[in-house]
Amino acid sequence: MTTDTDLPTPLPVPGIRLGTTCAGIRKPDHRDLVVIELTEGTNTAAVFTRNAFCAAPVVVAREHLQKASPRYLVINTGNANAGTGEAGLAAARECCAALAGQTGVSSEAVLPFSTGVIGEDLPVDRIVAALPSAVEALDAQGWDDASWGILTTDTRPKRLSRQITIDGVTVTLTGMAKGAGMIRPNMATMLAYVATDADVETVALHQALQAAVDASFNRITVDGDTSTNDACVLMATGQSGVKLEAGTAAFAQWQAALIELCEELAKGLVRDGEGATKLIHVAVEGGRTTDECLAVAYTVAHSPLVKTAFFAADPNWGRILAAVGRAPVPELDVQPVRIWLDEICIVRDGGRDPDYREEQGQIVMARDEITVRIHLGRGEASATVWTCDFSYDYVRINAEYRT
């Protein structure tokens, strides 16, 4: 079992405090309620799921972001509060009002987030009763507990920090994420929270977040399902005193650190995919456009036949070939297409590479991290997607999800 001692210790971000408690939402004595406090003056950006059946907390969070600067986030697990109609919206607003009443801010200054089972009424009474305990637990060092408190079917937290130096001043970025199934974010059940003590105005912050999400959380898939509850939040407290403006070298340095942090969190989600045993990089090169490369990458990454072959460590390269061939790429000429498993070329000149040997493929497939590299031979664009294998446990976990 993973413990805190097995994981990197996240660094506190001045201006951010986190409190975690047990509300008994689905399981007794289980960390399932997290409150995050943002110091006054913090700028916040967020992106959410594109699922049309978005959850009640997503609707309310979007509304509140238009009306006030967030001062608190409230996150519950065990119940997604999705597919719950007007009652779900009322429940999300009631949780916000309860936290606002305890902390002396407006209800609109609270953003709600939920993850868990879809279609069940949110147990508002349990959440409201537990909020004082979460508020009392608020601590700048609270990232550890919070990273456990946001999990559902995950086996371990995903959390890390990065520090950079700008004009002699240390700037910190710390983030945490959850998600193991229903993962193909379109901004999976995915939630991510990243904080920095840099001073970044809201428009630039949102642009930075969108760029980071597009390069990370929007490039992963466990099972091809986009959740109703996906959200990613970026908070900039400004407490370091370092003001960053878009277009400057300092901003680019910070942006690069943000993207790196989000990529590592995203890979952590895939590594911990439900029942996953392997991390698979699907790197497509030589396309006419990035979208074309992504279309091929996702077709391979979503193929149950490809994913089960990886689980079995079976170098059944024909499954990869077939997936590339059915990708929505107009007039694909297969002759220049080349495919590799790590360093081993398996396909060229329209078929199996004449130099390929089955034992070479078996050596690669036994690894726990593998790159499938596909060169389309029709352009200069490229894109990479991260996915995992499909195991027996994925079926078991999802078949027993509500039991």
| 359: Cα within 13 Å, side-chain hemisphere | 0
Active-site annotation holder among 189, 196, 228, 299: 189
Closest among 286, 296, 309, 293 to 365, alpha carbons compared: 309
> pLDDT value at position 40?
97
- The pLDDT value recorded for residue 38 is 98
pLDDT one digit per residue (tens) for the chain, 403 residues? 454 556 778 999 999 999 999 999 998 889 999 999 999 999 999 999 877 888 999 999 999 999 999 999 999 999 999 999 999 999 999 999 999 999 999 999 999 999 988 899 999 999 999 999 999 999 999 999 999 999 987 888 999 999 999 999 999 999 999 976 554 555 445 799 999 999 999 999 999 999 999 999 888 887 655 567 788 999 999 999 999 999 999 999 999 999 999 999 999 888 877 778 899 999 999 999 999 999 999 999 999 999 999 999 999 999 999 999 999 999 999 999 999 999 999 999 999 999 999 999 999 999 999 999 999 999 999 999 999 888 887 777 667 766 6
Bridge-based pairing of strands 338-341 and 344-348 is: antiparallel
**Residue 225 burial (CB count, 10 A):** 16
- How far is residue 336's CA from residue 325's CA, in Å, rounded to a whole number? 13
Encoding tokens for residue 357?
């040997």
How much is the pLDDT for 4?
A: 55
* DSSP run (H or E) holding 198: none
Domain residues of the chain, as ranges? 4-271, 279-399
Among candidates 153, 152, 171, 151, which has minimal Cα distance to 161? 171
Active site residue 3: no
Write the burial class of residue 104 (CB in 10 Å: 0-12 exposed, 13-18 middle, 19+ buried): exposed
CB 49 within 8 A of CB 34: no
Looking at the chain, the number of H-run helices and the number of E-run strands are 11, 17
The CATH class, in words, for 4-271 is alpha beta
Radius of gyration of the chain (CA): 22
pTM, full prediction: 0.88
H-assigned helices in 272-377? 290-302, 304-311, 317-326, 358-365
The answer to whether domain 4-271 and domain 279-399 are alike in fold is no
In 3D space, the residue among 229, 316, 227, 321 whose CA is nearest the CA of residue 274 turns out to be 227
Q: Domain 279-399 maps to which CATH number in 3.40.50.10800, 3.90.1260.10, 3.10.20.340, 3.20.20.140? A: 3.10.20.340
Tell which residue, 64, 143, 82, has the closest CA to residue 118.
82
- State the pLDDT at residue 187: 43
- DSSP per-residue letters across 43-91: EEEEEE---TT--HHHHHHHHHHTTS---EEEEEEEE---S-HHHHHHH
Pair of tokens at residue 51: 């699922």
